[in-house]
Structure 1
Amino acid sequence: MTYEEFLKSKQITINPSGFDCESNNKYLFDFQRDITGWALKKGKSAMFLDTGLGKTITQLSWADEICKYTGGKILILAPLAVSKQTVREGQKFGIKVNACRSQIDAKDGINITNYEMLHRFDINDFVGVVLDESSIIKSFSGKTTQQMLDLFIYTPYKLACTATPAPNDYEELGNHAEFLGVMSRSEMLATFFVHDSGDTAKWRLKGHAETEFWKWIASWAMVVKNPEDLGYDGSKYKLPKLNIQTHFVESPVNENMFIVLPAQTLDERRQARKESLKERVNKTVELVQGTDNCLVWCDYNDESTALTKAIPGAVEVKGSDTPEHKENALIGFATNDVKYLVTKPKIAGFGMNWQNCNDVIFCGLSDSYERFYQAIRRCYRFGQTKEVNVHVVISEKEESVLENIKRKEEQAQKMSRNMVDLTSEILKNEIRNTTRNVIDYNPKQKLEIPSWLKEVI
């Protein structure tokens, strides 16, 4: 064996386990049709498509083709309220989706349920599974996440869909790879990473392995921020202007201090947020006035309760509400039956399509950039025709939280851009290898029907 052959033997390759198929759904855009075909050929893959690029229609088309090919059932797992929204989207796209809450309700074809209902289903009855908004699996406890990974280990067809796999959150990428059966998280870390400065909780890409790591990601994940990344026309995906404005409310000054000191520790931040509740709610109410409809985000129950009482006509969605109330309220906001919605990013920050709203208010801010990004993207997405106004209301003491979010945003944008840049050319080739080459026919000579055929006709 030559040294070159030895090096080739060490390259990590992912063998396709699917089948060649081109979806004929007329509602698919060109890039969506090609991505769907790529995912069908892969058999087990991830679609990291940014918000508004059509994850719903691509995953439904993927599931529909597998149902036709195998004659089996598909199970889609989605966040609460997204299930009904997906059923409605399926009707629009000509794909039937059955919403169910247990195995008894499952039917032939495509079935959808909430993540919380997974324990009620017999996984062996399904030939394929789709994780909608798959990045939320990192929000589950380690035990629950591992249980989900184990449940689908022998499922023939798998698809994970999310807009925001944090490119610097390698554990999340590892969970996706393990779910798809590509490589275990521990193997991924051992292959591409090293411990950072002796801290075993932090991992850093090996300097010489960065390019190979993203090549490996591109072998099983489609990473797209805009169709232009794959060489398609992305002009329709240019969004209106996003206006983000921060409003600081006054914080009480300690009697031993002459100035307001920023809260540093977690306890100090929580205390500062508690002290400014009244002022933040009053400012939020002021901002809500005059809007046609408004989405108000908060993080704590006392904030949610105070906001709902202070905003006339506001509908609150909290964790303890019944699934029926949550679904009706979230869908009601999408259909303009609810004018003002008060809820938390961890409840409704994933999956919902609210392009009908262009005014968003955060009554307080957590340190999670992903939640902040996703919450904004419920309204700021493909289909939005107006400028989106985002207001962040925090106390003076919480400026450090805002700075933390800005730092994470810069890091995420840089890493995301790197991820797209390093994978786009590979994925372009992947797309070309899984789509048909069509040669246009330009006739040069007029066709004449033979006389003997005219006599037969």
Structure 2
Amino acid sequence: MQYEEFLQSKQRVNNPVGFDCIPSNEYLFDFQRDITKWALKKGKAAMFLDTGLGKTIIQLSWSDEICKHTNGKVLILAPLAVSKQTVREGLKFGIEVTICRSQQDVKKGINITNYEMLEHFNPNEFDGIVLDESSIIKSFAGKTTQQMLDLFKFVEYKLACTATPAPNDYEELGNHAEFLGVMTRSEMLATFFVHDSGDTAKWRLKGHAESEFWKWIASWAMVVKNPEDLGYDGSKYKLPQLSIQTHYVESPTNEDMFITLPAQTLEERREARKESLGDRVNKAVELVHGMENCLIWCDYNDESTALSKSIPGAVEVKGADTPEHKENALIGFAIGDVKYLVTKPKIAGFGMNWQNCNNIIFCGLSDSYERFYQAIRRCYRFGQIKEVNVHVIISEKEESVLANVKRKEELAQQMSSNMVALTSEILKNEIRNTTRNAIEYTPQHEIQLPAWLMEVS
């Protein structure tokens, strides 16, 4: 074996298992059509597209073409309330989607259900599976995530759709790769990563493997923050201004201290949040006054209860509510029937499109940057035409929580930019290889061969 052949044998790529198809839906933009065509060619692919780039129409068009190709069925798994939203979007795009609660409700074509209803379906009955807001699978218990990976292991066509995942969350990337059948998470870690400083919970890319890793990612995942990343016109995908203001409420000082010291331990942070509840709720009520609508985020039941009781007209959505109440409230906020919505990021932080609202309040803050980012992106997404105002209400003792979130934000933005930069050129080539540009030509004049050429012949 020659050295060049040895190097070729070490390369990790994902071979296409799909089919050539030009998506027929007339509502697809140029970049959406080409991305959909690329995913159909791959057969098993991930869409890491930023919020508002059209994941819904892409996954519906992909599913529609799969159903036409197989004359079979596709199942879309989505967060709660996103199912109804997707059906509404499908009607707008001319694609029929059936909401299902069990296998008995399934029809030929595209079907959709909530992740929580998964156990009521037979995966062997479907030709294709779509995970909408697929990053949500990492928030499930490990057993549930593994169950999902096992259930759909032999489904022929697969698509995973989410906003650009946290680039340093390699477990999330590994879960996606395993779901698509590209490589198991453990294989991915062994191939491209090493333990960081002996801590088996932390992984970092091998120095020489970085370019190969992102080349491998680009062989099965489309990573896009803006259509410009792939060479398309992205002028329509410029977001309005985002304003984030922090409002501090006073924290009582210790008798022995002249100043308020920030809470450091988890127990201290919980205690600081508990003792500032009343002041934070009062501040939220003050801010909501005069707003046309507002999305109010919290993390604990006592915060949710206090906010909903104190804000006139507020509708509360909590974990113990029935699925019907949750769906009606979340959809009601989307269409303007609900003015003030109080809920938690872990309940409604994924999937919902609320560009109709440009006011957001966090009545407290957790250390999770991803929840903070996703919660803001329900309103601050492509299609939003107004400046989005975000108000973060915390006590003075919780300043360390805010600092931690800001640190994670800077790291995520830097690594996300690197991820797009490292994959964009590869994906441009991938798109070109699956896209045929043809210019129609209609002749207007009859060709006349010159006399000298006629004589020669």
Same fold (TM over 0.5): yes
Name the residue aligned to 1:205.
205
1:440 offset after TM fit, Å? 4.1
8 Å CA contact 1:284–1:393 kept in 2: the answer is: yes
Q: How well do the aligned residues superpose, as a CA RMSD in angstroms?
A: 0.9
TM (norm. structure 1) is 0.97
Name the residue aligned to 2:305.
305
Distance (Å, rounded) in 1 between the aligned partners of 2:441 and 2:380: 42
What amino acid is the match of 1:359? N
1:445 offset after TM fit, Å? 2.0
Distance (Å, rounded) in 1 between the aligned partners of 2:192 and 2:438: 39
TM (norm. structure 2) is 0.97
> 1:365-380 maps to which residues of 2 (within 5 A)?
365-380=365-380
Worse overlay, 7-16 or 38-47: 7-16
> 1:254-265 maps to which residues of 2 (within 5 A)?
254-265=254-265
> 1:325-364 maps to which residues of 2 (within 5 A)?
325-364=325-364
Name the residue aligned to 1:103.
103
Name the residue aligned to 1:119.
119
Distance (Å, rounded) in 2 between the aligned partners of 1:446 and 1:167: 59
Output one character per residue of 1:148-198: Cα deviation in whole Å (capped at 9) or x when no partner. 000011000000000031110000000000000000000000000000001
Output one character per residue of 1:65-84: Cα deviation in whole Å (capped at 9) or x when no partner. 00000011000000000000
Distance (Å, rounded) in 2 between the aligned partners of 1:353 and 1:338: 14
Counterpart of 2:394 in 1: which secondary structure? strand
Distance (Å, rounded) in 2 between the aligned partners of 1:348 and 1:184: 30
Is 2:34 the partner of 1:34? Answer: yes
Distance (Å, rounded) in 2 between the aligned partners of 1:234 and 1:298: 34
Name the residue aligned to 2:453.
none
Is 2:23 the partner of 1:23? Answer: yes
Name the residue aligned to 2:70.
70
Name the residue aligned to 2:411.
411
What amino acid is the match of 1:15? N
Name the residue aligned to 1:266.
266
Name the residue aligned to 1:437.
437
8 Å CA contact 2:164–2:225 kept in 1: the answer is: no
Identity of aligned residues (%): 83
What amino acid is the match of 1:273? R
Distance (Å, rounded) in 2 between the aligned partners of 1:83 and 1:281: 32
8 Å CA contact 2:164–2:224 kept in 1: the answer is: no
> 1:11-410 maps to which residues of 2 (within 5 A)?
11-410=11-410
Counterpart of 1:131 in 2: which secondary structure? strand
1:263 offset after TM fit, Å? 0.4
1:435 offset after TM fit, Å? 1.2
Name the residue aligned to 1:451.
none
What amino acid is the match of 1:174? G
1:253 offset after TM fit, Å? 0.7
Distance (Å, rounded) in 2 between the aligned partners of 1:149 and 1:31: 30
8 Å CA contact 2:46–2:161 kept in 1: the answer is: yes
Output one character per residue of 1:84-129: Cα deviation in whole Å (capped at 9) or x when no partner. 0000000000000000100000000000000000000011000110
Counterpart of 2:127 in 1: which secondary structure? strand
8 Å CA contact 2:72–2:127 kept in 1: the answer is: yes
Distance (Å, rounded) in 2 between the aligned partners of 1:392 and 1:421: 32
8 Å CA contact 1:20–1:37 kept in 2: the answer is: yes
8 Å CA contact 2:164–2:223 kept in 1: the answer is: no
1:199 offset after TM fit, Å? 0.7
Consecutive unaligned residues in structure 2, runs of 5 or more: 448-457
Counterpart of 1:405 in 2: which secondary structure? helix
CA separation of 1:446 and 1:341: change in aligned 2, threshold 3 A: farther
1:437 offset after TM fit, Å? 2.4
8 Å CA contact 1:295–1:340 kept in 2: the answer is: yes
Counterpart of 1:149 in 2: which secondary structure? helix
Distance (Å, rounded) in 1 between the aligned partners of 2:102 and 2:233: 42
1:383 offset after TM fit, Å? 1.1
8 Å CA contact 2:103–2:120 kept in 1: the answer is: yes
Query: Following superposition, which runs of at least 4 residues in structure 1 exceed 6 angstroms of deviation?
Result: none
1:439 offset after TM fit, Å? 2.7
Name the residue aligned to 1:452.
none
What amino acid is the match of 1:431? I
Distance (Å, rounded) in 2 between the aligned partners of 1:399 and 1:281: 18
Distance (Å, rounded) in 1 between the aligned partners of 2:390 and 2:296: 10
What amino acid is the match of 2:355? Q
Counterpart of 1:88 in 2: which secondary structure? helix
Counterpart of 1:372 in 2: which secondary structure? helix
What amino acid is the match of 2:401? V
Counterpart of 1:296 in 2: which secondary structure? strand
1:446 offset after TM fit, Å? 7.3
CA separation of 1:194 and 1:428: change in aligned 2, threshold 3 A: same
8 Å CA contact 1:135–1:164 kept in 2: the answer is: no
What amino acid is the match of 1:219? S
What amino acid is the match of 1:356? N
Distance (Å, rounded) in 1 between the aligned partners of 2:390 and 2:13: 44
1:436 offset after TM fit, Å? 1.5
Distance (Å, rounded) in 2 between the aligned partners of 1:446 and 1:234: 41
8 Å CA contact 1:164–1:370 kept in 2: the answer is: no
Distance (Å, rounded) in 2 between the aligned partners of 1:164 and 1:426: 17
1:444 offset after TM fit, Å? 4.6
Name the residue aligned to 1:454.
none
Distance (Å, rounded) in 1 between the aligned partners of 2:376 and 2:173: 23
Distance (Å, rounded) in 2 between the aligned partners of 1:5 and 1:291: 65
Distance (Å, rounded) in 2 between the aligned partners of 1:131 and 1:406: 29
Distance (Å, rounded) in 2 between the aligned partners of 1:309 and 1:439: 63
